[in-house]
Amino acid sequence: MNRPLAERMRPQSLDDYVGQHHLVGQGNVLRKMIDSGTVPSFILWGPPGVGKTTLARIISAQLDIPFFSLSAINSGVKDVREIIEKAKSTAFFDNKRPVLFIDEIHRFSKSQQDSLLAAVETGVITLIGATTENPSFEVISPLLSRCQVYVLKSLSADDLLKLLHKALTTDVELKKKKITIQETAALLRFSGGDARKLLNILELVIDADENNEPDTPVIITDEKVIDRLQENPVAYDKGGEMHYDIISAFIKSIRGSDPDGAVYWLARMVAGGEDPKFIARRLVISASEDIGLANPNALLLANACFDALTKIGWPEGRIILAETTVYLATSPKSNSAYMAIENAVAEVNKSGNLPVPLHLRNAPTQLMKSLNYHKGYKYTHDYEGNYVEQDYLPEEIRDKKFWFAQDNAQEKKIRERMDQLRSTC
């Protein structure tokens, strides 16, 4: 039985590697390290299907370094320690430091990541981690401080077209067939910058055509790609278009105050194996962006949801997500804070770096005092009601307004209080 096309097309050298020119192109950081023969521990962060695993294997092969691999999904501390012991024993016979590649390193618990520290620090292994999640949130600080982080990008349309051409002209099996690609828009759209997905879709369309009409030419059009994908739906694709469609429907249901729709899309993500922390992070964002000052407790609950999820885990964590989802969906809505920062950023982009008014500047030295830093500043707590009118914006935009209260009970109270304060001055 033939291996899948994506596996047959896996590059074996940097010359065959498609994409990530900013890292592996001539004169760029990873290429220079490989050429020098010295590679430190690092983490590759990027979306699925952009070549993280392949790049790790190529580096090991080109430097002729022993290569050990673990997947964080099905490996534990015991597996890590066994690999480290093997690496130590290898060192007796070879002075090259082995590479330990850990796929989806963000799924390692703190104790699992702790078990790597000593080996990385003492140089027993060179760690190469791969993650689709921001390492700043998912990798412990001591380990992160010992690793460089390199960001991989989704493949561009040119990269994907190059890969299609390479597959059709170099793959042993595809060269036997009469394949014509008349349209590429659907292939590119559904692959979403993911090389593996592009090749899987191509293979699916070719196989479906051959099943219907063996030994006939295969002509690939946008319509045919869409039809084949509809006939072979994936329940939930965490890295693809459906992933983004479902999270979009989830957030829009919360924003639209529909708890039933929100819980349904939550259930779709839970059933599809979505990372619970990804969902929790989206809830925190929604609490600020869509509910905001209309119900400030929403942000507190969303943040508590994220914390509780890390303590409780799965499957009970889905209940915490559901509670927060329903609460956010049934809360009053306001995007006034979101609009305020958007308005302020637009002003900054328009007016540039305006100087801070002198009375708002600190004056820790005599020189600064002589330049009138801090002069005329009114200390709020010296005044009745802990409020005094003074300018807090640069002179050029002193009358600008960025935050506007919206029509909900909470913000009406805020607006009334601010109006009352200002009327007393």
Helix orientation angle between 276-286 and 241-255, rounded to the nearest 10 degrees? 40
Give the model's pLDDT for residue 400.
Answer: 86
> pTM (2 decimals)?
0.56
Cβ atoms 46, 52 nearer than 8 A: yes
Domain ranges of the chain: 20-151, 157-231, 241-330, 353-423
Give the model's pLDDT for residue 47.
Answer: 82
How does pLDDT run along the chain (425 residues), one tens digit per residue? Answer: 578 888 888 888 888 888 888 888 888 888 888 888 888 889 998 888 888 888 988 888 888 888 888 887 777 778 888 888 887 776 555 567 888 898 888 888 777 888 888 888 888 888 899 988 888 877 888 888 888 889 998 888 899 999 999 999 988 888 888 888 888 888 888 887 888 888 988 888 888 775 556 567 888 888 888 878 765 544 345 545 456 678 888 999 999 888 898 999 898 888 777 788 889 999 999 999 999 888 999 999 999 999 898 888 778 888 999 999 999 999 989 998 889 988 888 888 888 888 888 888 888 888 888 888 888 888 888 888 888 888 888 888 888 888 888 888 888 888 888 888 777 66
Cβ atoms 304, 287 nearer than 8 A: no
Cα dihedral 110, 115, 119, 121 sign: positive
What are the phi and psi torsion angles at 245 (to 5°)? -65, -40
Give the model's pLDDT for residue 69.
Answer: 84
Tokens representing residue 312 in the block: 């409780």
CATH architecture classification, 241-330: Up-down Bundle (1.20)
Cα distances from 40 to residues 29, 30, 123, 131, 135, in angstroms, run: 12, 10, 9, 17, 17
Annotation: CATH topology of 157-231: Helicase, Ruva Protein; domain 3 (1.10.8)
Cα distances from 246 to residues 194, 242, 304, 309, in angstroms, run: 18, 6, 24, 21
Residue 258 and residue 260: Cα distance in Å, rounded?
6
Q: Three-class SS string for 295-348?
A: CCHHHHHHHHHHHHHHHHCCCCHHHHHHHHHHHHHHCCCCCHHHHHHHHHHHHH
Give the model's pLDDT for residue 210.
Answer: 59
Give the contacts of 379 (CB within 8 A, at least 6 positions apart). Answer: none
Residue 278 and residue 4: Cα distance in Å, rounded?
30
Tokens representing residue 241 in the block: 């278009």
For 20-151, which CATH superfamily applies? P-loop containing nucleotide triphosphate hydrolases (3.40.50.300)
Residue 186 and residue 193: Cα distance in Å, rounded?
12
Cis bond before residue 364 (omega within 30° of 0) = no
Q: Determine the straight-line distance between the first and last CA of the chain, rounded to whole angstroms.
A: 83
Give the model's pLDDT for residue 144.
Answer: 87
Residue 126: enclosing H or E segment and its boundaries? strand 126-131
DSSP letter for 294, please. Answer: G
